[in-house]
Amino acid sequence: DAGVTQSPTHLIKTRGQQVTLRCSPKSGHDTVSWYQQALGQGPQFIFQYYEEEERQRGNFPDRFSGHQFPNYSSELNVNALLLGDSALYLCASSLDGVWMNTEAFFGQGTRLTVV
């Protein structure tokens, strides 16, 4: 089992550009969550996808959007990039039904640098 895989591992973008990050969940997992981790800080929850719908959202602007595909993989899109969007973006997968949840498995992250 490959676990949670994220691509790309590193990315450099210019202010104002758009970026798409990708995540493949651990086999058997149906829920994907995205987190942003600034240097020296704990990860901050962006949003969670379940059954191809956004189920929970953190305190992030609409410039951050996502998608989940029928095979449970997911994308995170960020529009109009700002310097402050430079961070490590982490994807986590889990098996979270309506009345239960399981431990989350994290990928290694995508390091985004905005210049």
Partner 1 sequence: DAKTTQPNSMESNEEEPVHLPCNHSTISGTDYIHWYRQLPSQGPEYVIHGLTSNVNNRMASLAIAEDRKSSTLILHRATLRDAAVYYCILRGYTGANSKLTFGKGITLSVRP
Q: Checking DSSP bridges between strand 44-50 and strand 5-7, what pairing results, if any?
A: unpaired
| Shortest separation between residue 31's beta carbon and partner 1, angstroms | 7
Whole-angstrom distance, CA of residue 23 vs CA of residue 9: 11
Segment contacting partner 1 (CB under 8 A): 17-25, 64-72, 78-86, 89-97? 89-97
Helix, strand, coil in percent for the chain, rounding step 5: 5, 50, 50
Return the SS3 of 70: coil
Site string for partner 1, 50-79 (x = CB under 8 A): x----xx-x---------------------
Q: Give yes or no for residue 105 binding partner 1 (CB under 8 A).
A: yes
Whole-angstrom distance, CA of residue 63 vs CA of residue 49: 17
| Shortest separation between residue 8's beta carbon and partner 1, angstroms | 15
Q: Give yes or no for residue 35 binding partner 1 (CB under 8 A).
A: yes
| Shortest separation between residue 111's beta carbon and partner 1, angstroms | 10
Could you tell me which of 2, 1, 12, 4 has the C-alpha nearest to residue 91?
Answer: 4
Q: Which is nearer to partner 1, 2 or 98 (CB)?
A: 98
User: H or E stretch including 13?
Assistant: strand 10-13
User: What residues line the site for partner 1 (CB under 8 A)?
Assistant: 4, 31, 33, 35, 41-45, 48, 50, 55-56, 58, 90, 92, 94, 96-101, 103-109
